[in-house]
Structure 1
């Protein structure tokens, strides 16, 4: 017994939510060397710290088969902010596209802080 599948355009449509894209992008940006997270914000005020052990904040908007990303992150000092954000942008365009099948048309990045490359604790002598 052979079953024939309907044509792809007749099978339905997959919809990916903004939240799903945000989570994928937030994880993907952690794969870029020198990128750290940002403090949480409540009513525009930073709450908590920023650094390599925090997660970047991502806001995504999906429209049809296209997504745009707004990313807030920190960069490890003394890395070049321009080079690090360019690499983060390239990586997000590729990884989010691969993971979702969406075309990422724009990635806006705001660097909220520079942090030391190590997350170690300081000692007072």
Structure 2
């Protein structure tokens, strides 16, 4: 039986920005009352904000730390402050659980509020 390799000889695990983005986009769907945001092109929303869509997340990983920029929608009449606080805490915990990275900052932009009933449009 061979001895385990010295820690200096084992290599390094690198977690990419895009991996953290995918984990965070999924993790935020676990928060009640929080949903996705429309994609944007040149600052203009393309498509609609929808609670069933995924959030838009940008992550930056440096060493053992990550920062997140998250775009979400919130169910009305839920408190935006409560929803974003819950999302921020949940993201920090889940990213650390899955990656071992410490999340130093989570910036959240709420792009829309959704009512419980869907808006019906009619053409007359």
Q: TM-score range by the shorter chain?
A: over 0.9
- CA distance in structure 2 between the partners assigned to 1:122 and 1:97 by the alignment: 41
Displacement of 1:40: 0.5
In structure 2, the partner of 1:16 is 15
- CA distance in structure 2 between the partners assigned to 1:52 and 1:16 by the alignment: 28
In structure 2, the partner of 1:122 is 120
Q: Secondary structure at the match of 2:30?
A: coil
Q: Which runs of 5+ in 1 are unaligned?
A: none
Alignment of 1:17-96 (within 5 A): 17-96=16-95
How does the TM-score come out when normalised to structure 1?
Answer: 0.91
Superposed structure 1 runs of 4+ greater than 4 Å apart: none
- CA distance in structure 1 between the partners assigned to 2:116 and 2:65 by the alignment: 34
Displacement of 1:54: 1.3
Q: Secondary structure at the match of 1:20?
A: helix
In structure 1, the partner of 2:5 is 6
Q: Secondary structure at the match of 1:30?
A: helix
- CA distance in structure 1 between the partners assigned to 2:66 and 2:40 by the alignment: 23
- CA distance in structure 2 between the partners assigned to 1:37 and 1:105 by the alignment: 23
- CA distance in structure 1 between the partners assigned to 2:114 and 2:96 by the alignment: 29
How many residue pairs match? The answer is 122
The CA RMSD measured in Å over matched residues stands at 1.5
Q: Which runs of 5+ in 2 are unaligned?
A: none
- CA distance in structure 2 between the partners assigned to 1:75 and 1:9 by the alignment: 46
- CA distance in structure 2 between the partners assigned to 1:31 and 1:100 by the alignment: 17
Displacement of 1:117: 3.4
* Preserved CA contact (<8 Å) 1:34 1:117: no
